Structure 1
Amino acid sequence: MARNVIPRWRGFNLPNLFSYYHYKDFEEEDFKWISDWGFDFVRIPLNYRFWIKDDDIYYIREEFFEKIDEVISWGQKYHVHICLNFHRGPGYSVNQELKEKFNLWKDEEALSAFCYHWGYFARRYKGISSKNLSFNLINEPPHVSDDIMTRTDHERVIRKTVDFIRKIDNGRLIIIDGISYGNESLPELVDLNVVQSCRGYLPMGLTHYKASWVGGESWPEPKWPGAWHYGEYWDRGKLGKHYDRWASLMDKGIGVHCGEMGAFKYTPHKVVLSWMRDLLEIFKERDMGYALWNFKGPFGILDSEREDVEYEDWYGHKLDREMLRLLQEF
């Protein structure tokens, strides 16, 4: 597999270990169901603080990695590609439940620790094919700003980390998220021959309606087309133009994948499905794969807690069969 080209993988996020206060063990049945339903990709958002000891960022508890080893083995067993992602790496996370003591984009100490941890992953999993395993360096880098992260800062961090990993495992498939929380592509990094990852959360007024972490409680009830997005109103045409910018990377031989997409549980189900069909058609037209956030939970197909869905009982879980069928079409 060329390291900058990927199949049109389709699947889900399993965010069992992304938030320090929401730990949940992985379950083999999830990987079996994902495979049985015709999907072939699982992204695993990780929080580095689960495998360090106290605040010692260079103390790695090797026994923790038995959980990740098991996830990778389940991926191989069920023919599902596993993408390991630092949702929180030393010096940065989009989630605000913990405050990092340094800034990945500005502080050399943070970058050294970041490379150290990815180096551990690279050594541990060196023998596993990139057909089965990829590394997604850091989730959703922020908007560009002089005080937090300039574009130059971001490029420096990514180039050093990619080089660090490749000196250990030159064949590893590496994925990088776009800046502006995954919404802006990175043409300046095309020469790195890494896959770039976008997001499927636009327009925000539809995907994050009533989401407290982005102030969505006061937003107007969404409709599609015509959903609100910070003073603009989006339709399929506007959505397609956004992803045209990402698809242009493919003309340069760079793979593009949507690492997260979906809509929060308060958006009316019919609106979600109408918007999602347009989004999935746009992805398919541009030969882009996707991963729904999440598999189980408020964006997902199992146990979403939506109040306007006629659920199907699935081994004690509540299955949104209509959303599952839509995803299976694409």
Structure 2
Amino acid sequence: MHRRLFLQASLTAAAGLSQLPQQTLAYAASLPDPKPGNLPRWRGFNLLEKFVAGSTGPEPEGPYQERDFEWIANWDFNFVRLPMSYQCWATPDPKHWTKINERVLREVDQAVDYGKQYKLHVNLNLHRIPGYCVNPPAEPLNLWTDEQALEAAVFHWKHLAERYKGRPNREVSFDLINEPNTNEASYVRVVTALVEGIRSVDPERLIIVDGLQYGNQPVPQLAKLKLAQSTRGYLPMNVSHYGASWVPTLSDAPPPTWPANWMNVTWNAETLRKVAISPWQKLEKEGVGVHVGEWGCFNKTPHDVALRWMEDQLRLWKKAGWGWALWNFRGAFGILNSDRADVTYKNYQGEQLDEKMLKLLQNY
């Protein structure tokens, strides 16, 4: 699978809040407490305020927006994933990896509080962790081989564990490393160290780990650690990433259809079931809960194709009992401000809403 680089979205706030329906709160409050082997069917979005350090320096783009949490809850979703870069609150210089900017982390605390307020589960993910990121630039040390990087990674997760100790798992969970690309032995070694660090502080914290091969391959060796696992929903790539400049082999590909042909394979709902569902269902039988941490379709894919592909994915996940988090909420993959050329948007309190995509998501 091709390595992906997501667009660095600049997220802006606007005034005007809608009334949160009481039935939404009742629905969210009825969710069971999550267990590593039995996750609720969380449905929601990735929010990107701490996805990268700011474009003008080490500061992130800004605090999370309360309005996003309110709208997500108001539209009957119950989950947000926060993919974050440690460089938003710490220096990229390995000599100072453990120096923390508390002001920035207080903005993460605020997001967790928003989740509690609006009955959304908040999943904290290190998209960039000391020693590894799926996106460039490369880290100065290698998490999979350098002990200094691993020690720093353990430090950051222990710090977060201290920060949220006492918060129930229905409010917050940890997703350790975004889309690892390494061998299984190295991954298991690193994850084991991170889990031990977290559990030395907060033994009951719900921990989720991404699959290998950029989140697509389940990792049975980690089942013994009592973790849930996160998969992806981007296959086939010529549908989800058509026209994406950061995937050179797809930037000049022919417009996709659905069903599709990719890598000499005909892709349809049955192909998705065999390739992306069945292997993970085998993992579930070992007592591992599964969630789709990221998925979505870039804005250059024709809208009707994107919606048909999305519906097949959603139908499969609903049948499997899995939740999902769309990448993203606002931006080129999202339901707001996606800048698609073939969509008539609704002006929703100053934002451009893709109503058809929203309604499709609400149905599943």
TM-score range relative to shorter protein: over 0.9
Offset, 1:159: 0.9
Q: Decide whether the 8 Å contact of 1:53 with 1:61 is kept in 2.
A: no
CA–CA distance in 1 between the matches of 2:273 and 2:218?
15
The residue correspondences of 1:131-170 to structure 2 (distance < 5 A) are 131-142=170-181, 149-170=182-203
The correspondence for 2:271, drawn from 233, 238, 253, is 238
CA–CA distance in 1 between the matches of 2:62 and 2:70?
18
The list of structure 1 runs, each at least 4 consecutive aligned residues, that deviate by more than 4 angstroms after superposition, is: none
CA–CA distance in 2 between the matches of 1:124 and 1:133?
11
Match of 1:25, SS?
coil
Q: 1:94 to 1:54 in 2, by over 3 A?
A: closer
What residue is the counterpart of 2:121 in the other structure? 81
Q: Decide whether the 8 Å contact of 1:265 with 1:305 is kept in 2.
A: yes
The residue correspondences of 1:272-283 to structure 2 (distance < 5 A) are 272-283=306-317
Residues 118-147 of structure 1 show CA distances to partners (whole Å, capped at 9, x for unaligned) of 0000001101111000000010001xxxxx
The correspondence for 1:123, drawn from 137, 162, 168, is 162
Offset, 1:231: 3.6
Q: Decide whether the 8 Å contact of 1:206 with 1:227 is kept in 2.
A: no
The correspondence for 2:108, drawn from 68, 76, 96, is 68
The correspondence for 2:63, drawn from 16, 25, 28, is 25
Match of 1:247, as an amino acid? Q
Offset, 1:63: 1.9
What residue is the counterpart of 1:185 in the other structure? 218
The residue correspondences of 1:148-227 to structure 2 (distance < 5 A) are 149-215=182-248, 216-227=250-261
Compute the RMSD of aligned alpha carbons. Answer: 1.2
Match of 1:11, SS?
strand
Q: Decide whether the 8 Å contact of 1:18 with 1:45 is kept in 2.
A: yes
What residue is the counterpart of 1:106 in the other structure? 145
Match of 1:28, as an amino acid? E
- Of residues 64-73 and 232-241 in structure 1, the stretch that sits farther from structure 2 once superposed is 232-241
TM-score, normalization: structure 1?
0.95
Offset, 1:218: 1.9
- Of residues 272-281 and 4-13 in structure 1, the stretch that sits farther from structure 2 once superposed is 4-13
Residues 244-297 of structure 1 show CA distances to partners (whole Å, capped at 9, x for unaligned) of 111222222210000001000000000000000000000011111000000000
The alignment of Structure 1 onto Structure 2 pairs a total of residues equal to 322
CA–CA distance in 2 between the matches of 1:158 and 1:53?
23
CA–CA distance in 2 between the matches of 1:220 and 1:300?
23
Match of 1:326, as an amino acid? L
What residue is the counterpart of 2:325 in the other structure? 291
- Of residues 241-250 and 295-304 in structure 1, the stretch that sits farther from structure 2 once superposed is 241-250
- Counting aligned pairs with the same residue, the percent is 45
Greater share of strand residues, 1 or 2? 1
Offset, 1:16: 1.5
